[in-house]
Amino acid sequence: MNDAVIGAPALKPASELSQAIVRNIEKVLVGKHQQVELALAAVVAGGHLLIEDVPGLGKTMLARALATSVGLKFRRIQFTADLMPSDIVGGPVYNPKDGSFVLRPGPVFANFVLADEINRANARAQSALLECMEEGQVTLDGQTLPLPQPFAVLATQNPIDMAGTYPLPEAQLDRFLIRLSLGYPDAATEASLVQVQQFAHPISSLQPVCQPEQFAQLVSAARAVQISPEVAQFITAIVGATRHHAGIRFGASPRGTLALARVARALSCMRGYNYVDPAVVRELAVPVLAHRVIVQAQGSVQAQKPAAAMIEDILQAQKTPR
């Protein structure tokens, strides 16, 4: 396959721009190249990102740096137990001057919405995001309002602090294109943070590295990346195997198949390929699929492994197409 599919003039600038965005984010989040690349791939693919890890590892900084780097409108919502749907999507507000009601858009009307500690809000508040994430629109007071494009929810949550939290329902988890964890930095990286980030954080001086129209061109280039019939079958086989694994009660739906293909296109484009390499599919299978499956009940023999390990088992059993 040659560069005539996308065209070398379009592919090269798209790859260079994505790498510039990654480098810019890495000014804030040091030593996490793979996670930064995956986060950008999720947004380029038009999806939503769930960042799950313990406090202090840079979940919020990753979301803020990503939004700042691409120069699009960013809003943050701090999810709390008393958050109401109207605090997210907005609603009618009474105008005492003339006794009328004026429709006030909520903070979700932005390109990048940070849902910080999303699992601290109750189910009613969380449900306000369902229509936004799936359909890119909001229904308010009988009106259907489109959200700005591109639109992405960048959500964070702490998986170990369960007091006062509300676990995300499976239907909402399935709307996140990728779930990733940052993990602890290595010793050398952590030591460098003492020198450069103890009294000031680089997020305060971070600047955009592209214009909105340039980012739109990157998105268009990613959509033009080709998937061969063999790779499409490979993706389908991986997702299909989640429905027959002994340790998985419910496997990934066709939405998972489409999600894996979408983000594989985006990551391939970012790396300068005009086709999807099967190695990219293997790399993405766990962050795209692990949160979409429901494992067997606790206590059963098959439930001894986490979902990510089961996806790895499936990958081992799949033959990579040439």
3-class SS string, the chain: CCCCCCCHHHHHHHHHHHHHHHHHHCCCCCCCHHHHHHHHHHHHCCCCEEEECCCCCCHHHHHHHHHHHHCCCEEEEECCCCCCHHHHHEEEEEECCCCEEEEEECCCCCCEEEEECHHHCCHHHHCHHHHHHHHCEEEECCEEEECCCCCEEEEEECCCCCCCCCCCCHHHHCCCCEEECCCCCCHHHHHHHHHHCCCCCHHHHCCCCCCHHHHHHHHHHHHCCECCHHHHHHHHHHHHHCCCCCCEEECCCHHHHHHHHHHHHHHHHHCCCCECCHHHHHHHHHHHHHHHCEECCCCCHHHHCCHHHHHHHHHHHCCCCC
Tell me what pLDDT residue 298 has: 63
Q: What is the pLDDT of residue 161?
A: 67
Check residue 84 and give its pLDDT.
92
Q: What is the pLDDT of residue 282?
A: 95
pTM strictly above 0.85: yes
So what's the pLDDT on residue 22? 95
Could you list the mean pLDDT of each consecutive 10-residue stretch along the chain, which spans 322 residues?
Answer: 50 91 91 93 95 85 90 91 91 80 88 92 88 90 88 88 76 91 87 78 86 92 94 96 90 94 96 93 95 78 76 90 80
Looking at residue 4, its pLDDT comes to 41
